[in-house]
Structure 1
Amino acid sequence: MSEWLPLGVFFLACFATAASGAIFAPGEWYERLKKPWWNPPNWLFGPAWGVLFIMIAVAGWLVWRQVGFGLAMWLYGLQLVLNFAWSALFFGMKRPDLALYELIALWFAILACIFVFAPISPWGMALMIPYIAWVSFAGWLNYTMLRLNGPRPA
């Protein structure tokens, strides 16, 4: 039983991070933005992030079980904080320019997790691969929307 409690903590941390999408919801401002033709439908983002956050939680837990707290968990926490901040910048402050810079930092934090996780838990590392792929796509989408709308769209 005590083995599962830490997993619950990782799920709680990930879904607290996911709450940024509800706190800083897209809303009317986002609907008015020019978007590329390949922009996914709005309904896809919730399920995609839900699956990703489950994978991120399990990845963190697998690594924590092997090494406890240290560099790997510091990087893991950093990427969660950066993930939370993106919604605040893009939707909350309506600043796709700042959000893009922040997303680049998030991408490198995820990459660092992948490299640090690899020798500790191959499964933990593998569970982070879809996350960096989705964030790469999100970065291209953020960049494209910035080009279409400017740094401070009305």
Structure 2
Amino acid sequence: MAVFSKRQQALGLFFWLCVCFLVALLGAMASIQAKSFYAQLTQPEWAPPAWLFGPVWTFLYVLIAFSAWLVWCHGDRSARVALSLFLIQLALNGLWSWLFFAWHLGAYAFVNILFLWGMIVATLIAFWRVSPLASFLLLPYLLWVSFAAALNFSIWQLNLSILS
């Protein structure tokens, strides 16, 4: 396990927060017209209100950044492998907004979210080997993406003419 000073640890946490929120920002760029677009889509009865997504994702990005930071603090080879998986799933996370909101590709967004789900599971397992707490912090993210996958599929199926 690497030994970092308090300053290095604080900078590391800041770095992982920046990485996660950079992906959130890139996703938000794809979602500029999301409010009006999302409002015109037929929703399943169990869909949450649109205003809920922002606070939930903000909370999740903080959790996953903290999780990545905990693994980064170990600084060994297993941490580097785990963080590589983390970065792949984060890229898939950011891509989803572009597929769904910017490009209106419901099927591709659904396939993407399935890959994202699998990469979160792989990351969760890799994080467990380095830091069980870091793995535990990914569980709400995995649960939300599971819900989001079901929602993506349902909205896509209800709006095939729009999300082709």
Coarse TM-score class (shorter-chain normalised) = over 0.9
Summarize the alignment of residues 5-154 of structure 1 with structure 2, pairs less than 5 Å apart: 5-25=11-31, 26-68=34-76, 70-150=80-160, 152-153=162-163
Q: Give the Cα–Cα distance (whole angstroms) in 2 for the partners of residues 80 and 13 of structure 1.
A: 9
Letter in 2 for 1:12: C
Structure 1 counterpart SS, 2:48: coil
Q: Give the Cα–Cα distance (whole angstroms) in 1 for the partners of residues 92 and 98 of structure 2.
A: 10
Moved more, 129-138 or 1-10: 1-10
The verdict on how the C-alpha distance between 1:108 and 1:23 changes in structure 2, with shifts beyond 3 A counting, is same
Q: For structure 1, which runs of at least 5 residues remain unmatched after alignment?
A: none
Letter in 2 for 1:34: T
Q: Greater Rg, structure 1 or structure 2?
A: 2
Identity between Structure 1 and Structure 2 (%): 37
How far the C-alpha of 1:125 sits from its partner, in A, is 0.2
Structure 2 counterpart SS, 1:67: coil
How far the C-alpha of 1:112 sits from its partner, in A, is 0.3
* Deviation sequence 1:39-64 (CA, Å, 0-9, x none): 11111101000110000000000011
How far the C-alpha of 1:105 sits from its partner, in A, is 0.6
User: How many residues align structurally?
Assistant: 154
Moved more, 11-20 or 21-30: 21-30
Q: For structure 2, which runs of at least 5 residues remain unmatched after alignment?
A: 1-6
Runs of 4+ in 1 over 3 A off after TM superposition: 151-154
| CA RMSD, 1 decimal | 1.4
How far the C-alpha of 1:66 sits from its partner, in A, is 1.1
TM-score by length of 2: 0.89
Letter in 1 for 2:17: F
Letter in 1 for 2:30: F
